[in-house]
Structure formats: C-alpha cells, structure tokens
A and B are shown apart, each in its own frame.
Chain A
C-alpha cells in the first residue's frame, strides 16, 4: 500500500500535490465443496448420499472474500481482489460466484496432474499460483473447508510463501502496513498484530457475506478466467497430485450408526426421565 505524493494536473494549468494510494492487492483462496445441506444419510447403511448434491463455495471462504471486498471500500487506495482455487474444470462456477459478489478476477488451477493431491501438494500448487500472480499485500482464506475439514492448507501456503500468518480470525483491522486481528480460541480472544504482507484464515463470525449483484453477475459471465496447469506453475509431474503427496489413503470404512435408542413417548415419559436420572447418576453428573 502507500506510494509517495504525486503531482496531478488540475486542468487550469495549476498543479496539485496529492497523496495517491495504490490499491491493495488481495488474494483469496477458495474451494468448491459439496453443499452439506443437500447431503442426506442413507437410513439403511448410515452413509452419505452424495448423488445429485450441488456444489457451493466453501462457506468460510465467503467470509474471507467478504473481508477482501470490505477493504475495497475501506482501504485508502481501495483493493484489487483475486480469487484463486484448485479444482476440476467445474470449479469455474465457484470463481464466477465470487466475481459476481465483487471480486475483480480469478484464477483456476486445474490439471489432471493435480488429481489426488493431499493438503501439502495442494498448498504447494496454491503457493506457486500466489507467487506467480502476486505480489499481494494480503492473502485470505476460510479457516477450513466443510468437506476435508483439515484447516491445513492455509498455514501450509503461508509457510511456503514465508508469510507471517494467523488463524481463527473473527475481526481484523488494517492500518499503517499492519493487520491487527482478534482470534477466537478455546479460552477467549487472542489479539495479535502482523506486518503486511501476511496471510490470515478467518471464521464465520468475521462478517456477513453479501449477495451477488446483477452487475456482478453480468461481469462474471463475461470475464475471462485463466486456467493454470502444472507446467504453467513450473511444477514437475512428480511434485503434484498423488505423486507429489506425502500421505496415502489406504482404507475407507463405513461405520454404521452404532447407537440404539431406548425410546419413550408421552405415555412413558416419566419412565424415560427416571432412566435418564439413573444414567446421570452413573456418570456422576448429578
């Protein structure tokens, strides 16, 4: 951010000195995930029915995007917001949704070579993309995605880029080249300050994501979203996807719902309450 004073022609021949600010450059890392509201359980097997499930932008990533969009208004020189994701070609939709909400542009990392990436391989590709399209003053992401639930990619990207970073952020203020954040942790609120450029992962309580606008939707339809593959990021095949991953899934098992409820209805309610009191005593809760 910043930039020194510049001379501006006022039209009548006079010259005014003005402090011109360059817009901040912000990258928001997002992920397309299955819509968990659409997900139903198969009552027989207790497993998830994924057929016909829609795809959405990971909800916490929308909070990260909103934080970036707020800076377009609040930062002295405004902000230019780029959304980046790795995924199949269909992840274009997720980027277009972010652009319709107000992001300026997007980049899609999509390549067969990326298939089977664990969080480390994913983070390496995203870090390369941030490097290639940067430099950025700020990199934002949701704390975790609702499908993988690991929360690992954000910190991994930060370290690969050697950016100072923080996590679980519910409030952030930018001033004088620093970000002051409030982190929601187990026993309270932890307040930290980081120099820019830095990376921040955010929680739901940070803000309320806005709806796409009509103008935004029009722009999102027309905008060209570049697709980057492994070679565009100068990554060798053995660095990407399954081959570039440190972990291997060796087994998938389907735990069935293991509980069998003792059911009580209105008529047997007293009985149910007595049984419950007994169990609470056993557990030393009362």
Chain B
C-alpha cells in the first residue's frame, strides 16, 4: 500500500474508504466466526445428547443379548416316569430333588428347598426333557445331561445384577440359592451364549423365554397393510391434486386440510380406529389389519405432501415438451412426470412408513397392549407390535425385562435404520439426471 500523495484529495478519500472498509471487515469476520462457533456448538450438543441416549440404551440393553444356560444331569427315574405318558411327569420337581441330592442338601417336610431349587431353572427345562423322552423313549432309566436356560433371576445373578451385598430380604434370590448357583458355576455347568430366544420366540411371561419375534412379525404385517393401502392411495391422491384437479377454492381447502391432518396427534387416529374399525365395522381387535388401517390413515397426509412436492420439483420443461409432442395429460403424468418424481416419492413413502413403524399411541388404543404369545400367521389375528411390546415390557414387574426392553428398543432402532438406508439406496438407484 502506498502513502497518499499530499494534496491529492482523490487518493486521500480512497484511503479513508479503504480504512473504513477494513474496520468493518474485522467486525464482519468476527460475527461470522461467532456464528460458526454457535453452529458447531449446536451440532456438538445434539450429537452429544444422541450419543448419551444411545449409550444409555446400549448400556442397559447389551446384556440382553446373551443368556446363561445350565447343563444338569437328569436321571430318568423309571419309578417316576409313566412310560405310557412320559410328558405327564413333573420333571421340574424331579430335577430339583435330584439337584438337592447331588449337593447333599436335605429338604424339609414342606419341600421349600426343592421349590427354591426349581426357581433356579427355567420352565423350558421340563419341555426339553419331555421332548427328549418323546424322541427316545428308550432313555428311561438313563442319566443324561440336559441343557436348559437358567431362570431369569439366576441369569441376572450371573450378569451381576443381583449381588450378595444387597440385604437378603430385598433380593429375589436367597443366600442359599446363591450358594447353589455358585456351586453349579464352579462345576462348570453354567455357560453363557448368544440369546437366540430373544429373536426367535414370541412374547412370554417368563423373561428368559421372551422374544421380539412375534412383535417383529406383527409390525411387519402391519407395515405391509399400511404400505399397500397408504402408498397407492397417497400417491394417487397427490397426482390427482397436483396434475389434474382444477385450481379453485375447493382444492385450496383440501390442501389446507391435508396439511393439518399431518399434524394431528396420533392418538386421535387411535380413537378413530377404535370407534370406526373395531366398534362399527367389527374388525378383529388388535390385528395387523386394524393396526395397518389406522397407521395408513396416519401416513396418508405425509405421503400426499411428499409426493406433491416431488411432482412440483419436476422441471416444467419436461411437461411442456411432452404436451407439445401431443401427449395427453395422463400420458404426460404417467410417462414423464411421475417417473422423474419417483425418487422423492419413494423417499417420502419409506420415511412415512418408518415413522408409522414407531407409532405407539394409536396401537395402544386399538388394543395392542394385551399379551399375545406366539408368532402371528395372518393379518386378522391378534398380534403385538414392537412399540407396544416395548411399552408392555417396560411396565412388567420382572427385573429381567429391564434389559430386554432396552434390547427391544435397539431392535426397533435397527429396523428404522434399515428402512431409512433402504430409502437412500432406492433413491440413489432411481435418481435420473435431467
């Protein structure tokens, strides 16, 4: 920068301006940097909360993914087993008494110790034994090791949830039971393995046997119904509203109402489902059919809005070109506009499906809070859904459901991540340059 030549007012004026510019520049840069810092802070806080939430859930739920099994030697006492009807035997009592004998513990007259021992094993044990005998009746009289899950409390003990430091009266397991568990562990009869039951079983009152399979299938069936109803209706309505309907007061009214419907609380849809589908049309309560219908109604406004904005985003030059070629309006829409809007339509549909997947309030109102064991086979049968399952498990009294609730939440989150990823992949694949 050169010094201004004295006496030449023009260059002096220029320098003054430059100085002022420079001063202002500093302020502007400072403001920009502040803004950028705020932005980064906001992102950091959001991500922090997200990580916190996720971390908490993972911390609580990761233990649900493995469970402990115990292998006990069972003597098929011919004196206790009826050959003609082996399944009728009280195997639980059998195993408990045999265990007491093995540990050299005397039972009292009321058999409380046997009961206590029984509480360490899952009810699954008797079914396993019965099943073995069913397959090989010749085993009667033999001693063989049977592996079965531990009961939920025993499992919790091995996971460290129940400890001796808590006063005995506040624990579910007595000191004696803990000793027995330690002995079994010392014998090497206890092993930990992946909790397959969580993914293959339906709901159960026994936490160790409870799984999300039924709810997942129920949710999937429900989503299927929702998709089959909401996507064609929504896309069709949006195409009509955007491309064919005349622009008059009625159309404006419809648009305002659709936008409002998208914001209606989901529980209102539940009430609608209850009164309309269940009470008036007498559709089966708590079925994927009703759930799907209710969720379809909920997803419809979102799909319509997303489809309409995708259609709006198609450049008008394509429409004009098609019309000028002599294509009718229908041909223009279905051969040109809609294919080009497809990525947006698909994204909107999949995201609204993912949203519907996680809605709980309407499902509760149509009766999906009830306990439904097993895995559903049709859309007219009562089922559970993942969100309502989580709700049920959270309210359950057994301690072991605590970790399983978190695990179910993780399953639900995984489901949604998969659906969103599918949305992105599909959109990429169908994106066309114009």
User: Are A and B subunits of one complex?
Assistant: no
